[in-house]
Amino acid sequence: MFAIIGAVIVLGSVIGGFTMHGGELLAIYQPTEVLIIFGAALGSLIISTPLSVIKSLIKQLLGILGGGFGKKDYLDLLVMMYEIFNVARRDGLVGLENHIEHPDESEIFKRYPKFLKNKPAVAFFADTMRVIISGSVQPHDLEDLLEQDLEVLLEEELQPSQALSSTADALPGLGIVAAVLGVVITMAHIDGPPEEIGHNVA
């Protein structure tokens, strides 16, 4: 929601300031330049980015419009963990196996659909609980293991934004390409009337 509001403010400020200064919107309406710049940017993004990262990028962009996680989500997560640990206290670690191996069928996880939809979070929690249930890792080693897993997850989650940032860095260069192409077109009409030259320059 805030992303939409921010975009409206940016566009409103730029367009409003331009028109208040006496500019005409049709003068800056250049769909061909938009096609050159953003088409080339999209193509370079597809060429330089693995398909899995592109899918994650689309998912994250849609997530911006859908909103992130709030205080209630974190409180629900704490309550869910309390219920899981309460099962372990009552029935032992073995009682957690069905919940961990089949989280989609777990009555506890079903009560928290937003967490259940977050597949990386569910996988991280389930893998951690499997390690605890197996008893193959000492408690003092578990913290290091979790930190390493979180670092890997963070690196994976940052790949889409890094790919988009690299593409954004190339946009000024693509803008220069579009400007040079505009100059080429203008030079082809250099012997025309001033109105035609001005239109091509714009």
Q: What is the pLDDT of residue 193?
A: 74
In angstroms and rounded to an integer, the radius of gyration of the C-alpha atoms of the chain is 27
Q: Which pLDDT score is estimated for 192?
A: 67
Cβ(103)–Cβ(115) under 8 Å? no
Give whole-number Cα distances, 36 to 7, 166, 171, in Å: 22, 18, 11
- Per-residue burial over 169-183, b if 16 or more Cβ lie within 10 Å, else e, is eeeeebeeebeeebe
Predicted confidence (pLDDT) at residue 46 exceeds the cutoff of 90: yes
Average pLDDT in the chain: 86
Residue 25's pLDDT is 78
- pLDDT, one tens digit per residue, over 113-136 is 999 988 889 999 999 888 888 877
User: Does position 35 have pLDDT exceeding 80, yes or no?
Assistant: yes
Tell whether the model's pLDDT for residue 2 goes beyond 80.
no
Length of the chain: 202
pLDDT confidence band for 185 (50 / 70 / 90): confident
CA distance 157 to 48: 17
Structure tokens at 38: 């953003």
